Structure 1
């Protein structure tokens, strides 16, 4: 059996790691893969697979190009989703009976039409959902694009009967659980979850012995990702806090005397070699995301922590609780609790009897979320949803 992957949203490196992992998983479940995406995304996926999974048999993949609107911003996303919805419908119309169709991204603007066509032309269709699910819980004005998208998602999930062959995949058990209030009981069987797959590199060595505790963040830091909480935390701890990544929505770098911004006050590009070395030098990675956030979306930065094999200090939220299913650091309730913990760790450094246990559990979690492990569960989910798909396995 063949599968057709369709991505009408991503350009360049957008979602490249997840899309490459999904392609790799599909190659374990299907004889051949047809991948419809923008040429720039194809190039990025090839580079990711060459770097992380060189044994991937790309000879069994047929890439086909499609147009994706370049423009960003609200107008750009409306145009991107509008064009993408038309391409998505065409891909469903042209799909041979008996083949599997997987959309790598949920298109809020076109989901209702896709569901209607699925009812008129029954096919096996999986839609992978990402951060757009957060729109279900947000109340944006009707005149904003995000308001339209959220209203369309709520209507499709809660008021429309989903076609029997249409299934929605979410990337985490906690996300599936938190979706319940937004999905009509008649539609809940159409939703299933898998863990977020990740290509892990070799676990880096522990930092060389040093006299002072090192804590910091990795990846982009924005107000939505707790930037101001990080600044608040830095004022209350006795050690410098290192921000390994660029910041957005913030111009107070000079006033943060206890924060070292690796990107500098000008928020410049960080070369990969320096990014890796700065991140690997940290003892703990700090996450101060909104405790009420990440209920309906996954966090890539948390998987960066697993990749680095560094224990975390994080505020409690549903998604982090789900991923950190083994003790891999400290989970606290408030920034004040976080500051008190860092002060205690800094005072006792380098003594910490739990640190080696955290590192051992991080290695176990890496195996849990590795592409190979998630691929096995993905195949099992497809067998359950579509019993005839058992014939598709090689």
Structure 2
């Protein structure tokens, strides 16, 4: 019997989740006889570009790309309208493809209003990949913002019994365990895979011969990602910066007025996306990558940025949280700290050239072996059988 699957992404535009989506695309290709990939034209273009750049071919006879309209824009009201319109489109796509197994690229908050009824009426077998949207449920969010509505919809969905035709696919065992602990009523349908990634052997670079120590934060930058702590750290080490001993870099999209932060080196202007190659080239020049996500963050979502660091074999200095603890359980690729003060102590030891061990090549290889897309196994409900 032919084993087909339909992958639906009514949310992504451009390079949003492009690495994950491309890696998952290859996993689907490995497991299924035929794949219908439904997404925006810009998302499909981003995926095929990554495949071409990495010289990864795909079987065009079994892959069927279908383009849909996805509302563009990055402002809060754009995102709200995109989610709302996507939920209507998704409703009809699910009915249209009801005879196939279906995987959704993300959990649309508005779709939670009809998913249970729809999959039960039409006996649809549905897998749903979850990303950062799950974090809304455990965050304190302002009641006058759309995110409060997203949080309310998701909490209502998970508090009640979800159809056994649905599988919630989290991106890490720690996330699976945390979600089951919060919503035990749905433990049976919550599964996990590791976050797949394309590790590029050409990305690994030798440390700079310069005496300057270059540290940075990577990925999307904001207050929720610890930017305030990064700014305070730069102020704490201001004398070392002026002496040319250390540099602090911001490599990612942000909305900060650069002129207000003379101790930091920003790669991009405010609200400007960074091309993938430029982003990776900048990471290569760093010596260390810092993360300020605290213990209350990344309980229900994975971090793509940590894999950008691992891809380039860049030692990590970070605060402990459940997801980073999970990743580090496969290989110690740096230091996880209890608090900011401990981070400062380790960074000061690096600056002072004290005995801090960062020869982590074997540890990096351990982690890459686990999270490489080629080694990811899909749970049984959506696995080729």
Normalising by structure 2, we get a TM-score of 0.90
Match of 1:191 in 2: 190
CA distance in 2, matches of 1:108, 1:157: 11
Match of 2:287 in 1: 283
Preserved CA contact (<8 Å) 2:180 2:186: no
Match of 2:358 in 1: 355
Asked whether 1:337 is paired with 2:338, we answer: no
1:56 to partner: Cα distance: 2.3
CA distance in 1, matches of 2:275, 2:95: 44
SS of 1:355's equivalent in the other structure is: coil
2:316 maps to which of 312, 316, 330: 312
Asked whether 1:229 is paired with 2:229, we answer: yes
Preserved CA contact (<8 Å) 1:127 1:167: yes
Deviations 1:32-88 (A, max 9, x none): 100111112111111111123522223311111212122443432332222212222
CA RMSD of aligned residues (A): 2.3
1:245 maps to which of 218, 241, 251: 251
CA distance in 2, matches of 1:17, 1:276: 13
CA distance in 2, matches of 1:253, 1:226: 19
Match of 1:166 in 2: 166
Asked whether 1:204 is paired with 2:209, we answer: no
Counterpart mapping for 1:214-225 below 5 A: 214-225=214-225
CA distance in 1, matches of 2:273, 2:98: 46
CA distance in 1, matches of 2:30, 2:72: 32
Which stretch of the first structure deviates more once superposed, 35-44 or 214-223? 214-223
Q: CA separation of 1:66/1:330 partners in 2, compared to 1, >3 Å: closer, same or farther?
A: same
1:140 to partner: Cα distance: 3.5
Which stretch of the first structure deviates more once superposed, 274-283 or 75-84? 274-283
The total of aligned residue pairs comes to 375
Preserved CA contact (<8 Å) 2:255 2:271: no
Preserved CA contact (<8 Å) 1:231 1:256: no
Match of 2:129 in 1: 128
Deviations 1:108-134 (A, max 9, x none): 111230211111111211011111101
Counterpart mapping for 1:1-394 below 5 A: 1-52=3-54, 54-95=56-97, 97=99, 99-159=100-160, 161-183=161-183, 185-202=184-201, 203-237=203-237, 238=240, 239-246=245-252, 248-251=254-257, 253-257=259-263, 259-263=264-268, 275-325=279-329, 326-348=331-353, 352=356, 354-356=357-359, 358-374=360-376, 377-378=377-378, 381=379, 383=380, 385=381, 390-391=384-385
Q: CA separation of 1:135/1:244 partners in 2, compared to 1, >3 Å: closer, same or farther?
A: closer
Deviations 1:203-235 (A, max 9, x none): 423224333433222333221111111111122
1:316 to partner: Cα distance: 1.0
Preserved CA contact (<8 Å) 2:199 2:311: yes
Deviations 1:131-173 (A, max 9, x none): 11011113445553212211111111112x2112111101111
Normalising by structure 1, we get a TM-score of 0.88
Q: CA separation of 1:112/1:361 partners in 2, compared to 1, >3 Å: closer, same or farther?
A: same
Which stretch of the first structure deviates more once superposed, 63-72 or 337-346? 63-72
Preserved CA contact (<8 Å) 1:35 1:63: yes
1:355 to partner: Cα distance: 2.1
SS of 1:179's equivalent in the other structure is: helix
Q: Unaligned 5+ residue runs, structure 2? A: none
CA distance in 1, matches of 2:155, 2:276: 40
Q: CA separation of 1:34/1:270 partners in 2, compared to 1, >3 Å: closer, same or farther?
A: closer
CA distance in 2, matches of 1:127, 1:67: 20
Deviations 1:230-259 (A, max 9, x none): 1111222334233142463433644443x3
